Structure 1
Amino acid sequence: MADVVQLRKSEGNGLLSEERHDAVLRLTLANPPANALSIALMEALSAALDKAAADDGIRVVVLAATGSLFSAGHDLKEMTAHRADADGGRSFFEKTMRMCADLMLKIAGLPQPVIAEIDGLATAAGCQLVATADLAICTDTSTFCTPGVNIGLFCSTPMVAVTRAAHPKQAMEMLLTGETIDASTAKDFGLVNRIVPKQYLRQVVDKYAAVIASKSPEALRIGKAAYRAQAGLPLPEAYDTAISIMVDNMLRDDAKEGIGAFLEKRMPEWKGSPE
């Protein structure tokens, strides 16, 4: 197994730290206290995800954060400063929302599974980030909210991810009230998978990441894309899509190797497995 490899800070801005351990890439929002999704931070995160997508050696990506907030969402100070622009800030607001949407689409479309590691408050676009990740594991003191309605700004873009992760009425409850929910409620709503004590968060996330990273890289890529492809389809079309994908998967090298290894009662050797 490879040693831990520390990667460089993103583009010299210090907003995002990168750390790689074997086939797991950890991206940590490093702009406390708010870890706001400013233009600079979104650019850094987007660039890091592009590199991960192009690296066949990376099988899992973890999104974490420093400080007491996972992310406070958009940088409202940055956005408010552009109200002085000639168009009242419209162009900058459109740029911010489009960049955030593109970032969420990039996470959803990333070949590798993405695990959100949350310790603290995830609010507005920060909650959107959690809802967009494939899996989410949080501490028992973490909290979540979509509070835009409290400041006259309905969380319409976070709504897209939240309504796809949480149950419909619970998602609307969050969006309409703007109230903060605790970790247990977030799990009941469907926003997070697991709740763990703070001292065990990194250990549990690392374990999940390692288990997933041990699987076939082909199967992980195919499976994540297949899940997204069928999720919004009517049932017959979903099965048609899944059949086509699974037949193609059966013809791939890792399926041949995995099934052969199972029948022969040995460990599989995945194509491109790290040394």
Structure 2
Amino acid sequence: MTDANAPLILQHTENGITTLTLNQPDRRNSLSMAMLEALGQALGKAAADPDTRVVVIAAAGHVFSAGHDLREIREHFDQCDFQQALFDRCSEVMQQIVTLPKPVIARVSGVATAAGCQLVASCDLAVASDTARFATPGVNIGLFCSTPMVALSRNVTRKQAMEMLLTGEMISASRAMEIGLVNRVVDEQALDDTVYGMASVIAAKSGHTLKIGKEAFYRQLEMPLVEAYAYTSKVMADNLQANDAQEGICAFLDKRSPAWQDK
């Protein structure tokens, strides 16, 4: 049982990697309004923290996240303003992950369903244990996973997304990797080594370059081909004026390690 006074999000930073752990396992780490507020605040702190180069989102217990807190939703059945605010806040947090100027990796152990699956899909990268499972099961309770659909449909093909959304059935971690929802699937015992090994590789890069690249990646996705090339050509030309780009090129040519200044 979780201590009632325990923080909803545990935050720990080491070696440039900040881990944000959903910490309400007795409620299946549901994305209640309070949890969403806590996660949003933690993401804001990580974004502003100069010691944070990569963010990992993890969860305590055996469930990554079961999605929205249905008990909370039932308590507010007659309050349309609350329902709208809840889904708006969830959408804001998911977009906060996408626009965060630092890479975000989901560490998935256990079940990730509905808005929990949306959380995984919203992260830049995702590593899952081989026992993890995923679903967008809203259709089973008469509440279509419309907001999770936004992130899901931007990760997997249309037909794979529609199959998950229309059937509401669980898929395995290996199936999630096949359709592009997660990057890697590993044995539970290897999960941390894989997640933090990946995070460490990324954390060793120029933070300024990562920020430029992440922003450009998501912006160009929504553009027509010609516009995307025009935009990214300008991004690369601007990037080349940065200290770290010039340092990286010189270091490569001089056969030495670069000394990043993150600018």
Mapped contact 1:71–1:126 kept (Cα < 8 A): yes
The match for 1:102 is: 92
Deviation at 1:89, TM superposition (A): 1.9
Give 1:6-155 correspondences, 5 Å limit: 14-33=7-26, 34-83=28-77, 88-155=78-145
Rounded to whole Å, the distance in 1 between the matches of 2:230 and 2:70 is: 45
Mapped contact 1:186–1:192 kept (Cα < 8 A): yes
Rounded to whole Å, the distance in 2 between the matches of 1:161 and 1:248 is: 29
Query: Which deviations, in whole Å up to 9, do the C-alpha atoms of 1:241-261 show, x marking residues without a partner?
Result: 100100000000000110010
The match for 1:203 is: 193
The match for 2:184 is: 194
Deviation at 1:56, TM superposition (A): 2.5
**Displacement over 3 Å in runs of 4+:** none
Alignment-mate amino acid for residue 73 of structure 2: M
TM-score normalized with structure 1 length? 0.92
Deviation at 1:14, TM superposition (A): 1.6
Give unpaired runs (5+ residues) of structure 2.
none
Mapped contact 1:155–1:175 kept (Cα < 8 A): yes
Rounded to whole Å, the distance in 2 between the matches of 1:248 and 1:13 is: 45
Rounded to whole Å, the distance in 1 between the matches of 2:18 and 2:150 is: 26
Which of the numbers 212, 232, 235 marks the counterpart of 2:222? 232
Mapped contact 2:212–2:239 kept (Cα < 8 A): yes
Q: How many residues align?
A: 258
SS at match of 1:236: helix
Rounded to whole Å, the distance in 1 between the matches of 2:13 and 2:179 is: 32
SS at match of 2:24: coil
Rounded to whole Å, the distance in 1 between the matches of 2:201 and 2:139 is: 40
Deviation at 1:158, TM superposition (A): 0.2
Deviation at 1:272, TM superposition (A): 4.8
Mapped contact 2:97–2:104 kept (Cα < 8 A): yes
Alignment-mate amino acid for residue 252 of structure 2: F
Which of the numbers 142, 149, 154 marks the counterpart of 1:159? 149
Give 1:258-269 correspondences, 5 Å limit: 258-269=248-259
Deviation at 1:160, TM superposition (A): 0.2
CA RMSD of aligned residues (A): 1.1
Asked whether 1:216 is paired with 2:206, we answer yes
Rounded to whole Å, the distance in 1 between the matches of 2:222 and 2:128 is: 27
Rounded to whole Å, the distance in 2 between the matches of 1:220 and 1:57 is: 15
Report the identity percentage. Answer: 52
Deviation at 1:57, TM superposition (A): 2.4
Deviation at 1:13, TM superposition (A): 5.0
